[in-house]
Amino acid sequence: MPVIKDFKDFALKGNVLELAIGIVIGAAFASIVTSVVENLLMPIVGILTGGIDLKALSIKVGSAELKYGMFLQASVTFLIIAAFLFIVVKSANRAKLKTPIVPKATTTEILLTQINQELIEIRKELRNRN
């Protein structure tokens, strides 16, 4: 049964759960962006190009049909997702820079501070005796 325990430990680690949540949210976000591109942006592009539906653009070569309009639409979707992720990452990096980084004192530093305080007290006592 150690294999089951190892798998449980692996599957329930924070990183795996965060990754799973990220994938689900990413899939939902991708469907929203796809909808925005297909239902809002591409009709506007069609209006600006004189009613051309980019998705329908294709070239027939023999019996093959090259659907380059679908590629153009997928490219627009990709660019929107990339731009959004860029903004999110840029904002997160700015937020990290604004929060002050306070280094944690190590055990050695704490011990040295305590010893230093004790030495200062001893020195004061010696001065008071003289």
Among residues 19, 26, 72, the alpha carbon closest in space to that of 46 is found at 72
- Which residues is 61 bridged to in the sheet? 64
- Which residues is 60 bridged to in the sheet? 65
- % helix, strand, coil for the chain, step of 5: 80, 5, 15
pLDDT in tens, the chain (130 residues): 788 888 877 777 767 778 888 889 888 888 888 888 888 887 888 888 888 877 888 999 999 999 998 898 888 888 888 888 888 888 888 877 666 666 666 777 777 888 889 999 998 988 888 7
Asked if residue 113 lies in contact with residue 121, where contact means CB atoms within 8 angstroms, the answer is no
What one-letter code names the amino acid at 101? I
